[in-house]
Amino acid sequence: MVNSTVSSRMLESIAKAEGFKYADTLTGFKWMANKLVDLKKEGYYIGFGYEEAIGYMIRDLVLDKDGVTALCYFAQLAAELHSQGKRVKHLLDDLYDHYDYYVSSNSYFTCSDPKVIKRVFDGIRFGHRDSSVSYIQLYRKNDGLALKYPKTIGGFAVSYVQDLTVGVEFNVDELTTRFGDSNNNDGVLEFDGPELTPKFPISASSQMITFSTVNGGRMTLRTSGTEPKIKYYLEMGGRLDQSREEVHKDLEWLVEGIKTDLVDAKGNGLN
């Protein structure tokens, strides 16, 4: 089963618990369909693929977004639950209780000025705050790229960064273990390009950065290819020790963190 990288990670949690093959892909059904075809060649059974707010692909009946098949399966599910005296929400709540509660907040900032868009994303990856802000600092030796990603978002420590514009991906906890002896006196981690290369294709012509936080948050910011927008996809989940109320509260903090710590919406005149 697969989903796009901006979709809910709940499917990944279910995969870990139940033992089926899971993969995420870039946004778009062409990426998901091709990934499922590749997995089928490896001997896997094609089960399911979906993208947030866009649609579903069930089995290999149609290797593309397929609302007709999805509607039929959903109707069958609803009918079976009805025969048990249940509603679909009852099943969803059961899944949340078993695999953890996930909640998302996806939105966008309207921006038609390429200079402002560049300033926003340059600020995220090169630092745009005063000296009191702490950064994860990296230096790519092969091309001299100096990166400064925020250490915290919304008050929560960053645990993972994937930047598909410049081609960097890493887990924060693994950095010191992997490159501890290459840190200079300024706390800048030095590495060669291939060492932190993302699993997804890199595109310098488009903006896309993903962060995870230690409290179970995950957010992706990217430009739209068809609209004057900076989109963000934010989800909280993956921690059974939290109540649903706590998850929603953390989500609110991260929404504010996107606006202030990442995009600087007020400073850049965005809404």
pLDDT higher than 90, residue 249? yes
Structure confidence at residue 226 (pLDDT): 86
H runs (alpha helix) in 195-264: 244-257
Quick one: pLDDT band at residue 254, thresholds 50, 70, 90?
very high
Residues 206-233 pLDDT 10s: 999 999 999 999 999 999 888 999 999 9
Quick one: pLDDT band at residue 242, thresholds 50, 70, 90?
confident
Q: What angle do CA 219, 224, 226 make, to 5 degrees?
A: 155
pLDDT higher than 70, residue 180? no
The answer to whether the CB of 49 falls within 8 A of the CB of 2 is: yes
User: How far apart are the C-alpha atoms of 44 and 22, rounded to whole Å?
Assistant: 11
Residue in the block written with tokens 């595109």: 203
- 193 versus 98: the higher-pLDDT residue is 98
pLDDT higher than 70, residue 49? yes
What 3 state SS string does 131-142 have? Answer: CCCCEEEEEECC
